[in-house]
Homo-oligomer: A and B are copies of this chain.
Amino acid sequence: MYCTNVQYMDLTKAVVTFRNFYRKQKRLPSYQEVCDLFNYSSKTAAVYLVNKLIETDILEKDEKGKLLPKKLFHIPHLGIIKAGYPMPAEGSLGDSIDFYEYLLGMPGEMFSLTVSGDSMIEEGIHDGDIVIVERDSSPRNGDIVAACIDGEWTVKYFKNDNGHVGLYPANPSYPVLFPTESLMIGGVVVSVIRKYR
């Protein structure tokens, strides 16, 4: 239904307003604050709008009645796209990903590192990429680790060959590293992030 009413408030605009508020305040607005945001003079108008957003699954209420963002920040995931030969438009949308949970929803302690160099380029870890590393993970064979070998830090594949531990590059023009003195595993690389803009 298209509405020509001047009072008509587009839900998508409301979503943007809520998003911006949440981005700044890291919380959802109270009903009074919704009134301020949308120039309402009655809290009931705010209740009305919020209920619309709940109906569309953008917001939700917990068991205590507190408001929380359900899909406010979800990015629609449109499906699979070919990076080889083109494919018919897949997806049919519907699905969406909470990237905050996707990347950071892990229990352990994490840190990040900017990667310099190209020894892991065959693995798709390029110069300038950021790796998120989970501390304390005891690596399994094949894991990518951030490790300190003989006092120097590097990113490599971890391989434990019956107690004989080595750090393997993904780029064959670099040597395999075996510790002569010490090897400390800083953590396991759990994700790689690259930003273009």
Contacts and interface: CB of A to CB of B under 8 A. Distances in A.
Contacts of A113: 77-81, 91
A197 B190 contact: yes
A75 interface: yes
A53 interface: no
A143 B155 CA distance: 28
A55 interface: no
Interface residues of A, number: 82
A195 B68 contact: no
A88 B196 contact: no
Nearest to A106: B197
Nearest to A115: B83
Interface in A174-197: 174, 177, 188-197
Nearest 5 Cβ contacts at the A-B interface: A84-B117, A86-B152, A86-B154, A83-B117, A81-B113
Given A25-B68, A75-B104, A190-B197, 5 more contacts: A80-B116, A81-B146, A83-B156, A88-B152, A99-B112
